[in-house]
Structure 1
């Protein structure tokens, strides 16, 4: 397999209501990141609703086509590459992996709606010379029930976009995705459980990764494809390695050490592996000065000790 030695050292850049400028990108450059995930959203009313609404005047600027183009332009000016990662948001934040229609008619409508959604962004990605397009994020039931649709869709995407393709499979879904052979990267949202401790040590987390790593590497070998962590990261909260996907807005006191240790173990486990392409830390806000901070218990690494760890890691690779 032909791999570049440099890793994809990325951040998942959250769309805002405003345009961005060099001021918003400098902190990303200072992190030594070389890639940014730009994430426009389409909206679905409920898990059984087949229509995706996107690129409307009611959305934040960064979630619209004009916003996506403006963001990509600004990132490119600073030498940053882009993964375009259009995502679905279900009303009330229900899990996208559970999107599942209740009739053949609705499945067909969803397929039509999703095709339009992703092909619009594939054309935009081609126009803007985007390096990677992520064709979906955590859509397990949609894929389980309509595998042929997805295989055909990838062919349609390839006909309008000639960059690299991936799909962001959830950590408990990636083993069963039926179309990895058609993509360039095996994409994983890497929220694997790795420790049950309140403040996990690096050693515990390294141990916790062992069984997951074996399976991930085997899949890479099976398909002769590099693995890309389309999302990775931990909250600065107690038990950060137990259910890393949990994003509830609770008032728990921040645990900065837990976030640092879990993140360090992930870097030590994967970044030196030839079959591992890199990843995108979850998540990064445009207004760096006002984001994160040492009392924040959410995912962002901004203005927390883990930011320095990431900066050092990204510089090394």
Structure 2
């Protein structure tokens, strides 16, 4: 993997940043769910009904093997190549072991067709893994973590559609007492050596599956604020790079990204970007763009070609701009709020020459072609909302050629 250490760039004084960030946190603005190069500062990069599958036990598939129904899968407009923007969606998969392999394949084909219809060229498969409480040292699959074999099948189907794939394990927060402020960014294992050992044991089969299916990126960690900078990551990432030849990445939460150093020995950084913008629901897109740039400028001004927006999204409801990552609240539906936010984020990605964006999210068991049931569904769901889907298609078919180009619109 590419290896480079980027220099530290001064940021706003800690007291100012702390005040700016603390206020949104009181309102719960970090994402809640179940869940130019030198201008990139403070980032230390290291380089640049059985429910069982009959796939090989090591998570790979035989060369030339084709998934049943592959000929019926739609194909992307243009397959992603190095330097192109990643236009993608986060597909969140809580597996049910009772679901047959045929069901899993059917859902994967359904989502592949939907993503192609959006003109996406990329997909990130996020799935939960589990721990105990905040000081637990043990990582486990739990009952909702897809097996490496089933992940392999899904990756294969997405590749047949021509989609760039990312594998993204995501720590589930069910046991962390979210109601009292517990979330993945606050874990503090009692024995960090034991935690990293357990995490490595969990990750290795998924790294092998990702390698076997030639995934482009493996996200080694997501929103683990309290664990960033631990020197044990060096050993874990080095081990991952021996197993997986693609890009090993880390996805930082937005608060840590703007407030200080993201010291992780990986080759790429993503940001789960839920920047609150305290404006009225009637605010125009340009005002939302300005709000995003105000946040990003706290870190660095100008192009950010080494940054991917790993998650962006917002509830299709009134008052969402002030807390775009609020998973649980269900205020009155307002589709225009969501659509305008997506339009603004896409504009920022292009103007700041970022490497792409992944929208949060589509759930694996859902039918993305159906209108969401707003009595039970998260307001963050965008599939089946015509205004937002139109904004996504406009984004994904723009003339933006990728980081370092002059075609940002």
TM-score (structure 1 length as normaliser)? 0.86
Q: Partner of 1:311 in structure 2?
A: 393
Q: In structure 1, how many angstroms separate the alpha carbons of the residues matched to 2:132 and 2:84?
A: 41
Q: In structure 2, how many angstroms separate the alpha carbons of the residues matched to 1:267 and 1:25?
A: 22
Q: Partner of 2:379 in structure 1?
A: 298
Q: In structure 1, how many angstroms separate the alpha carbons of the residues matched to 2:373 and 2:336?
A: 13
Runs of 4+ in 1 over 3 A off after TM superposition: 1-5, 215-221, 293-297
Shift of 1:138: 0.5
Greater CA radius of gyration, 1 or 2? 2
Shift of 1:217: 4.2
Map 1:154-233 → 2, pairs under 5 A: 154-174=237-257, 175-179=260-264, 182-217=265-300, 226-233=306-313
Name the SS of the counterpart of 1:241 in structure 2.
helix
Shift of 1:4: 4.7
Q: Which of the residues 203, 221, 224 maps onto 1:136?
A: 221
Name the SS of the counterpart of 2:250 in structure 1.
strand
Q: Partner of 1:151 in structure 2?
A: 234
Map 1:217-296 → 2, pairs under 5 A: 217=300, 226-248=306-328, 250-274=329-353, 276-286=354-364, 287-290=367-370, 292=372
Name the SS of the counterpart of 1:13 in structure 2.
strand
Shift of 1:208: 0.9
Name the SS of the counterpart of 1:44 in structure 2.
coil
* Aligned CA distance change for structure 1 residues 272 and 208 (closer, same or farther; 3 Å): closer
Q: In structure 2, how many angstroms separate the alpha carbons of the residues matched to 1:168 and 1:152?
A: 18
TM-score (structure 2 length as normaliser)? 0.68
* Aligned CA distance change for structure 1 residues 128 and 228 (closer, same or farther; 3 Å): same
Structure 2 gaps, min length 5: 1-36, 38-47, 49-80, 401-409
Shift of 1:83: 0.5
Q: In structure 2, how many angstroms separate the alpha carbons of the residues matched to 1:238 and 1:203?
A: 19
* Aligned CA distance change for structure 1 residues 297 and 108 (closer, same or farther; 3 Å): closer
Q: Partner of 2:403 in structure 1?
A: none
8 Å contact kept, 2:168–2:218: yes
Range moving further from structure 2, 18-27 or 292-301: 292-301
* Aligned CA distance change for structure 1 residues 195 and 261 (closer, same or farther; 3 Å): farther
Shift of 1:216: 4.7
Q: Partner of 1:84 in structure 2?
A: 167
1:32 aligns with 2:119: yes
Quote the RMSD (CA, aligned, Å).
2.4
Range moving further from structure 2, 7-16 or 200-209: 200-209
Q: In structure 2, how many angstroms separate the alpha carbons of the residues matched to 1:228 and 1:197?
A: 27
1:113 aligns with 2:198: yes
Q: Across the two proteins, how many residue pairs are aligned to each other?
A: 301
8 Å contact kept, 2:302–2:352: no
Name the SS of the counterpart of 2:323 in structure 1.
coil
* Aligned CA distance change for structure 1 residues 294 and 75 (closer, same or farther; 3 Å): same
Shift of 1:294: 7.4
Listed one character per residue, the Cα deviations across residues 74-117 of structure 1 (whole Å, up to 9, x for unaligned) are 1011111101001111325631001112x3xx222211111222
Name the SS of the counterpart of 1:51 in structure 2.
coil
Shift of 1:47: 1.4
Q: In structure 1, how many angstroms separate the alpha carbons of the residues matched to 2:125 and 2:270?
A: 16
Listed one character per residue, the Cα deviations across residues 137-187 of structure 1 (whole Å, up to 9, x for unaligned) are 11111225xx101122211111211111211100011242112xx433221
